[in-house]
Chains A and B, each alone.
Chain A
Amino acid sequence: MSPVRDMALAAGLLALLAGVPVHAAQQDKQPDRQHTSRHPERSKTAAEKDKELPMEWHTGGTVTSPPPKIRTISPLPDGEWKLPAGDLANTRYSPLDQINTANVSKLVVKSTLATGIPHGHEGQPLVVGHVMYIVTPFPNNLIAVDLTKPGGALLWIYQPHPNPKSVGIACCDVVNRGASYADGKIIYNTLDGQTVAVDAISGHEVWRAKLGDINVGETITMAPLVVKDKVIVGNSGGELGVRGWIQALDVKTGKPVWKAYNSGPDKDVLIGPDFHPYYKKDQGKDLGKTTWPPNQWKLGGGTVWGWVSYDPESNLIYYGTGNPGVWNPDVRPGDNKWSSSIIARDADTGQAKWAWQISEHDAWDYDEIMENVLVDMEWGGRMRKLLIHPGRTGFVFVLDRITGELLSAQKFEPTNWADGYDLKTGKAKENPEKRTHYGTNTRFICPSSTGAKDFIPSAFSPRTGLLYIPAHNTCMDYAGIEANYIAGTPYLGADVHMYPGPGGYQGELVAWDVAHAKPVWSIRERDLPIYSGVLATGGDLVFFGTMDGWFKAVDARSGAELWKSKVASGIVGDPITFLGPDHHQYVVVYAGVGGWMGAVAFPSVSADDPTAGLGVVGAMKKIKQYTGPGDVVYVFGF
């Protein structure tokens, strides 16, 4: 509970190698890879360049038309990085421009730090004042690093000691997606379902709140968002039949202020007279109860393990919910509200303002907990308040965030479960033969259960009007019934095989023109998904990482690769940028592969069973050739 101040112990954890060009030494060790070009017409020089960068190539053009009028609605992270996405609106855009397209090629490793925990390092650190804060995977230690010291120096480590039982209960690695800073405190969640607030200076615990019960399968992996005086937290554990909720805690004390479930009667969902869904299909009384067979909403899933956004002008929070539980779809007829939905709530009371269910009666495990990017933009000739949601379902959705009206839904990766959306009804034009049923073999469903994109967050640059989406192209066969065994009980699961989708690539960074609802350029990875978050900057750079451990900067307008550096392990974390005490700009990213797809890199996960991890191993066969577990925080600068 108290911070570790023993520097001798800390020395084992901390390896600060200021300025050592680790990446240069490792470049030669890259395995020799085959590559296939999608562009046979390309010149020899391009082909030679491909040989040099065998994993990727970029398609499409550059931004030609000037971006539409854009207005950001949240203070931007100008120097510090105090919230998970940097701002309240989930843009992951920093206006810093010291590092820019002209000089990024000179970026070098300035320091590294090993957290000592070789599991999936999702999420991102915070930088507040002159201190960087890192939340590790389970056991969820908080490491504070003094940036004024050469190469950084350990200030303290706070250890919350979460219940080790939670390791056996979490479905998909023991990840954590980061912290928020507010009121002098670093606030984050622990795998065993607690929220902790730690004094940012002393490292002493200020409060802790037990919100989830691991004994019924609840864990917490998301990064809380602090909105004014409230900490917004949601639960994980949909695959164990928990009932999803979101709640607000008092930032001073950790005491609950409001709690809203995502299934059940209106009073539990905090649906009252203020609730005005745009579409008829989402209107009605107690839909969180009546769109389920009796009582099944009690194990209804719809958890909140992704990102929360906030619009300070309308005082609304926005979040997406996970897939419905706990039954396979045949056993839970009905829309199963409010699973796989986007919900807007009043930040002070939690009362729902509107909700839009993205896919009724989910049959594919399409959680829709992705980030909702909030921005005001010219749309159809006038400024509108937009919510942009790049979905697991394979569509980029653009909504009016005040009314919940769907303005656009376009595919950004191969997607065949639906042909499109009817903007009049808000409903998907579903492809009935792609719906999964017990005893039915359904081949070639795109995207697979991993989605065209998972929780890994995109970035939006107001300078280009582009949303930079870290995507994957994975399809699946849902093959009837497979006997499995849990808690001493045989049961039937689905025999799901995932594999790369059409097009000869598995990962793609898509630069999406929001106003025109189309891709402008993309960068493709042949063998692995892109599973890192994205950072866009005022230097017109886009930073992202690959699962084989390359951290890259590309031109925000053209996608041209301007710089890259090899890191110790595959990247599944989210890059951030900040101004150091020396007033110079730095960029930070975690190198520690893991998570649902990334854990296939672990030696303990066998690649010979393609149905393991709900079939994800089949799509990730090659990852062991490219990377192993890691635990390193990299700081780059000049």
Chain B
Amino acid sequence: MYSVSERLRAAVAVLAIGLAAGAPAAVVDRPAASPAPLRVCADPNNMPFSNDAGQGFENAIARLLADDLQRPLAYAWWPQRRGFIRQTLKAHRCDVVIGVPDHYGLVRTTRPYYRSSYVFITRRADHLDIDDIADPRLRTLRIGVHAIGDDYANVPPAIALARRGVIDNIRGYSIYGDYSKPEPTRSLIDAVDDGQIDVAIAWGPLAGYFVQHEPRPLAMQPVQGENDPALAMSYAIAMGVRKDDAAMQRTLDGFIARRHADIDRVLDRFGVPRLPVQSNDGGP
């Protein structure tokens, strides 16, 4: 499954040793016919999206894409934090970021290939059945959300709750988690499972994946009931390329149209909860 990338990694290692020894680049042979690698930027430790063992759903989509384009797959790894796009795509370390919000301002986006939403996660045994941000029980239940930390920033459900005066019973779990461990964002979902909190509100793709892997059965429902359009709870996700790279955008749009069913199968396999991609998603 990972043979292409492993071969490539070995080649890169050889290249690095060659350079360290001061060998001229020309010594490294590449058959003239072999296509240039598809260079993807990804976080090396951000399951279920990606990791450097290739286990995330964005890794799987990247493989699908590389196979479709018949190009070897190469990764540039970088933590997906402030400066990620600047340090990766804009620095030409790579040409594609597999997942960004539709119309994300820092990049040129492809047509979106899925839409997900923030979800409530509760213990099934509690039968809370919460799906509305205005549910009065949210005033007293212990609620966990991811804390972003970038100045002025918050996840939309945290803002929606704060506006309703729901503040004191909210607990923040750093979105960055402990980066020395696998699955840094998971602690929020673990907190529902082990009873630290009653309700977690998390972004669908990561919630859907971790819920499957918790010991206790957990329930998951999309967040509804927020009428302020500025506080969107659902987002369409597209691929991102450099703003001047129209050619790559067309290539990726073609791939998304051609292989949509295959992409959906990957998302299903990872338990990504999805809403229909709306007709006004995408476009220039």
Contacts and interface: CB of A to CB of B under 8 A. Distances in A.
Contacts, number: 186
B66 to A, nearest CB: 20
A492 B159 contact: yes
B152 A494 contact: yes
B153 A328 contact: yes
A328 B154 contact: yes
A228 to B, nearest CB: 35
Interface in B80-116: 80-84, 86-87, 90-91, 99-101, 104-106
B151 A323 contact: yes
B255 interface: no
Interface stretch (B28-36, B163-171, B212-220): B163-171
Contacts of A611: 105
Contact of B79 (A169, A171, A326, A484): A169
Contact of A488 (B106, B169, B206): B206
Contacts of B80: 485-488
A438 to B, nearest CB: 5
A480 interface: yes
A240 B155 contact: no
B261 to A, nearest CB: 23
Given A295-B171, A365-B152, A486 B82 contact: yes
A367 to B, nearest CB: 10
A488 B99 contact: yes
Interface in A98-157: none
A217 B105 contact: no
B185 interface: yes
B170 A331 contact: yes
A487 B177 CA distance: 10
Among A217, A330, A484, A489: residue with most chain B CB under 10 A = A489
Interface stretch (B132-140, B229-237, B246-254, B276-284): B229-237
Contacts of A239: 82, 149-151
B191 to A, nearest CB: 12
Contact of B151 (A213, A332, A365): A365
A40 interface: no
B90 A604 contact: yes
A487 B43 contact: yes
A488 B205 contact: yes
Contacts of B84: 168, 486
Contacts of B184: 487
B147 interface: yes
Given A296-B172, A483-B235, A489 B151 contact: no
A293 B87 CA distance: 36
B153 A494 contact: yes
Dominant secondary structure of chain B at its interface with chain A: loop
Dominant secondary structure of chain A at its interface with chain B: loop
B90 A606 contact: yes
A611 B80 CA distance: 18
A605 interface: yes
B153 A483 contact: no
Contact of A492 (B100, B153, B180, B205): B153
Given A485-B104, A492-B155, A216 B178 contact: yes
B154 A331 contact: yes
A294 B79 CA distance: 30
B175 A438 contact: no
Given A332-B167, A486-B175, A489-B206, 12 more contacts: A238-B149, A240-B149, A326-B148, A327-B158, A483-B235, A486-B81, A488-B205, A489-B185, A490-B203, A492-B153, A605-B86, A605-B90
Interface of A: 165, 168-169, 171, 213-217, 238-241, 293-296, 298-299, 323, 325-328, 330-333, 365, 436, 438-439, 449, 478, 480-494, 496, 604-606, 609, 611-612, 614
Interface of B: 43, 46, 49, 78-84, 86-87, 90-91, 99-101, 104-106, 146-156, 158-159, 162-163, 167-172, 174-181, 184-185, 203, 205-206, 228, 230-232, 235
